[in-house]
């Protein structure tokens, strides 16, 4: 059986490094907000080309805390509307709700699965104060168009990069050396670096061995509030300036992440290489392959294909020893937890949820497993 994602296998190459760290950790005896978290915050900020990184408990909290920090700074108010993609993992939407803001759903493009910038303006009201683009499956949204809309309507932009660690990095890196060769489309303008939320849930491209998350930002005031918010609203022990929460990146998880961060670029490169092979070698009229412009704007957290009889294809792959997953089977607006939205209609979002299937794509795959997946899909 080719598993969809075998985390044990993914983490096996780091086993000895983890054990060394664990030994140091036990000898050190410092468990909360220690040197490992500080090191990770420094290195991840630098990796992302950001001034600050704030380590938090998980990806959902990363988003919630950005919204709460903006509320604290008076840039958002309870009841403000936030534009979110209708086609996303529910966490993006829950974060908006948890901060007492109102999510307004916008349809995706069928090709990219990401929020369609052309649909955003119709949803903007006098109460709209922010846009939350989600870089779904690892592919950056059309940020140039989104930034223009945000600028025109004076909206904040907060990015959900829980699935896209490193997607922007290579672009920013090349920006320094070959800026003039890149089209405007190819790179985000450096001064529009928005507060961005990351998750280190074990299955993400940069995954911990438990929960973890982070926020990157260039904004001094926002960073100051975030460092305090995540730690009981306190900068000096037992002095609480604001109403904070307990959502700190765990010291041990940070230690594991410090080891794995060094390999993230190679991981993303590997994923892109396999994606390229899938895109050129999977040839079947019944299967729609994902859109990709071949740039480093995609880190292929997931390789998501579409087909009209998805469950049939999933069964067929299972019979042929290939485990697949569905990201996601039920759109947020059809979830019981969001029952007041159940009557809303988002046809493109619903079509995507009916047709998508994620095939295995991760650093644990062997050459022959990749070949088997291609052969079996071509025979369908």
Ligand X SMILES: *Cc1c(COP(=O)(O)O)cnc(C)c1O
Provide the minimum distance between the beta carbon of 213 and ligand X in the complex, in angstroms, as a whole number.
5
Q: Give CA–CA dist 348/50, Å, rounded.
A: 34
Residue 201 sits in the site that holds ligand X (CB under 6 A) = yes
Residue 140 sits in the site that holds ligand X (CB under 6 A) = no
Please say which residue, 282 or 333, places its beta carbon nearer to ligand X.
333
Spatial CB neighbours of 323, under 8 Å, sequence gap ≥ 6: 1, 2, 3, 4, 317, 360
- Say which residue the tokens 């079509």 belong to: 351
Q: Which stretch binds ligand X (CB under 6 A): 58-66, 151-159, 214-222, 262-270?
A: 58-66
Which of 37, 45, 60, 282 is close enough to bind ligand X by CB under 6 A?
60
Q: Give CA–CA dist 3/364, Å, rounded.
A: 9
Residue 163 sits in the site that holds ligand X (CB under 6 A) = yes
Q: Give CA–CA dist 86/338, Å, rounded.
A: 12
Please say which residue, 68 or 282, places its beta carbon nearer to ligand X.
68
Q: Which stretch binds ligand X (CB under 6 A): 54-62, 64-72, 279-287, 315-323?
A: 54-62
Residue 332 sits in the site that holds ligand X (CB under 6 A) = no
Residue 244: name the closest of 37, 54, 43, 41 by CA: 54
Beta bridge partners, 234, equal: 240
Which of 11, 50, 87, 92 is close enough to bind ligand X by CB under 6 A?
92
Which of 49, 55, 59, 188 is close enough to bind ligand X by CB under 6 A?
59
Which of 159, 160, 219, 250 is close enough to bind ligand X by CB under 6 A?
160
Classify residue 17 by burial, with Cβ atoms within 10 Å: 0-12, 13-18, 19+: middle
Q: Which residue is nearest to ligand X (CB)?
A: 59
Residue 91 sits in the site that holds ligand X (CB under 6 A) = yes
Please say which residue, 104 or 214, places its beta carbon nearer to ligand X.
214
Q: Give CA–CA dist 113/142, Å, rounded.
A: 11
From residue 240, give the alpha-carbon distance in Å to each of 31, 61, 66, 90.
21, 20, 19, 32
Which of 199, 217, 314, 358 is close enough to bind ligand X by CB under 6 A?
199
Spatial CB neighbours of 129, under 8 Å, sequence gap ≥ 6: 75, 76, 77, 80, 81, 82, 101, 155, 156
Interacting residues with ligand X (CB under 6 A): 58-60, 88-89, 91-92, 134, 160, 162-163, 199, 201, 211, 213
């Amino acid at each position: 059986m080719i598993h969809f994602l075998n985390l044990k296998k993914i983490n096996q190459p780091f086993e000895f490094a983890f054990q060394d760290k664990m030994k140091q950790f036990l000898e050190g005896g410092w468990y909360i907000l220690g040197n490992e978290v500080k090191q990770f915050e420094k290195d991840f900020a630098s990796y992302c080309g950001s001034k600050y990184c704030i380590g938090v408990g998980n990806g959902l909290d990363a988003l919630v805390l950005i919204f709460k920090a903006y509320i604290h700074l008076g840039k958002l108010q309870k009841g403000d509307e936030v534009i979110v993609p209708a086609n996303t993992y529910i966490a993006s939407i829950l974060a908006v709700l948890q901060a007492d803001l109102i999510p307004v759903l916008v349809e995706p493009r069928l090709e990219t699965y990401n929020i369609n910038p052309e649909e955003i303006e119709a949803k903007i009201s006098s109460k709209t104060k922010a846009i939350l683009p989600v870089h779904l499956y690892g592919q950056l949204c059309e940020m140039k168009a989104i930034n223009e809309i945000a600028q025109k309507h004076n909206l904040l932009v907060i990015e959900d990069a829980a699935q896209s660690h490193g997607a922007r990095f290579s672009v920013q890196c090349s920006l320094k050396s070959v800026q003039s060769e890149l089209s405007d489309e190819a790179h985000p303008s450096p001064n529009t670096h928005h507060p961005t939320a990351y998750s280190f849930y074990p299955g993400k491209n940069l995954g911990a061995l438990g929960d973890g998350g982070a926020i990157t930002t260039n904004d001094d005031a926002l960073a100051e509030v975030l460092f305090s918010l995540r730690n009981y609203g306190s900068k000096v022990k037992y002095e609480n300036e604001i109403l904070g929460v307990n959502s700190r990146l765990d010291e041990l998880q940070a230690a594991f992440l410090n080891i794995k961060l060094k390999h993230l670029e190679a991981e993303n490169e590997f994923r892109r290489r396999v994606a390229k092979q899938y895109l050129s070698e999977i040839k079947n009229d019944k299967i729609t392959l994902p859109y990709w412009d071949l740039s480093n704007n995609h880190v292929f957290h997931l390789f998501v294909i579409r087909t009209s009889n998805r469950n049939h294809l999933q069964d067929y792959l299972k019979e042929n020893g290939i485990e697949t997953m569905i990201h996601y089977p039920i759109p947020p607006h059809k979830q019981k937890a969001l029952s007041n939205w159940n009557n809303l209609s988002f046809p493109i979002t619903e079509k995507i949820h009916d047709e998508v299937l994620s095939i295995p794509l991760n650093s644990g795959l062997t050459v022959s497993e990749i070949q088997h997946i291609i052969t079996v899909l071509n025979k369908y």
